[in-house]
Amino acid sequence: MAADDATTAAGAPTPTSVSVLFVCLGNICRSTMSEGVFQSITRPTNKPAHPLISRVDSCGTGAYHVGDGPDSRTMSTLEDNGITNYRHRARKFHARDFEDFDYILAMDDDNLDHLQRLRTREVKKLGSDEGVGKVMLFGDFGGKKRRSGRGEEVNDPYYGGRDGFEIAYEQAVRFSKAFLEDLEAGLLS
């Protein structure tokens, strides 16, 4: 995980870079879409990388597609939107990810609940939550609030048509920008 915030000569906190992990069920549609979008925003081709982002990755809570590339509809949606350099191989979430990532962003309530249970176990095992990544719903950033108070879910487009992937792309752009704005404003701790 990223080190604690440094302090400038004037005494104001200087945010350090953070690592971000996107998580869905199989790691071939939603989390890869979000990773590809976030990378395109924070690491644009032929431009310097965003100074607050040190690492970006994605994974799944299930091992259904380990080793596979993203769904072809994910890739074509990214490519249709100018993201042509994204590469990834599906992997399953591991407890070590809590140590390696500052922010772990779930695509839906089921994955969020699963990750929160795993995090609770990890904190209990370690005896502290220090150094354990924060688990959040990606749609809490820029998403519409539901009656439950939680933000939008990114619905799994796997069994549907191309329009589901286009919706997931739009959400990934909106949520990524809002997450980055909150990070830049120092609203995330």
Q: With the CA atoms of 183, 186, 187 and 189 taken in that order, what torsion angle do they form, in degrees rounded to the nearest 10?
A: 90
Q: Is 24 a catalytic residue?
A: yes
Q: Is 162 helix (H, G, I), strand (E, B) or coil?
A: helix
Q: Is 29 a catalytic residue?
A: no
Q: What is the DSSP letter of 20?
A: E
Catalytic residue among 100, 129, 156, 174: 156
DSSP-assigned letters across all residues of 98-136: HHH-SEEEESSHHHHHHHHHHHHHHHHHHTS-TTPPEEE
Residue 31 contacts residue 157 (beta carbons within 8 Å): no
Catalytic residue among 29, 30, 71, 108: 30
Q: Is 73 helix (H, G, I), strand (E, B) or coil?
A: helix
Phi first, then psi: give them for residue 118, nearest 5 degrees.
-60, -40
Catalytic residue among 24, 59, 71, 119: 24
Q: Is 59 a catalytic residue?
A: no
Alpha carbons 170 and 80: distance in angstroms, whole number: 12
Q: Looking at the annotation, which residues are catalytic?
A: 24, 30, 156
